[in-house]
Amino acid sequence: MSKGILLTGIILLGVFTLGMVNIIQNYSSGNELDYYLLKDTTEAAMLDAVDYGFYQVSGGEIRMDKEKFVESFVRRFAENVNNDRNYDIRIYDINETPPKVSVKVGSSTSVVFAGESFQIKNQIDAILETKYEEDRRVQDIQDELE
């Protein structure tokens, strides 16, 4: 009888261990994917939000539109996330000139420990700058891209 109970205990311990490994792996790989998604989405949204008309009129000064950045960021982020995680997006600071943003994204799964779920948070501060010293026009940029 005791060998049967011991075998049942070992099986239950193995199932519990596999469950915990799965939960920990989900949080750690999710954190890494969330960081790279946040980084790439922020960079792409900042480039989408650059005001090319102002750039041409001002003689090369870069300015970013706040509303366009937020719209592009949320749209791009929503297109690339997992449906099994809950995300909390907080945009702390947006400067139009020079273009700078501070974004924090918290993510959590449906797993709850002792009635509390915890979030893994990633924060990024991004500044958009140019390497060009001379005045450039929008037509010059479009010619280079082609």
Q: What pTM was computed for the model?
A: 0.69
Are 110 and 94 in contact, with CB atoms under 8 Å apart?
no
CB atoms within 10 A of CB 107: 22
pLDDT at 70: 93
| Per-residue pLDDT reduced to its tens digit, 79-120 | 988 777 788 899 998 988 888 999 999 887 666 666 666 777
| Per-residue pLDDT reduced to its tens digit, 2-45 | 888 888 888 999 998 988 887 777 666 667 788 898 999 999 99
Task: Identify which of 95, 118, 124 has the alpha carbon closest to the alpha carbon of residue 35.
Answer: 124
Q: Is 45 helix (H, G, I), strand (E, B) or coil?
A: helix
Are 128 and 99 in contact, with CB atoms under 8 Å apart?
yes
Distance of CA 39 to the CA centre of its chain: 6
pLDDT at 139: 65
pLDDT at 102: 94
**Phi, psi (deg, nearest 5) at residue 97:** -135, 115
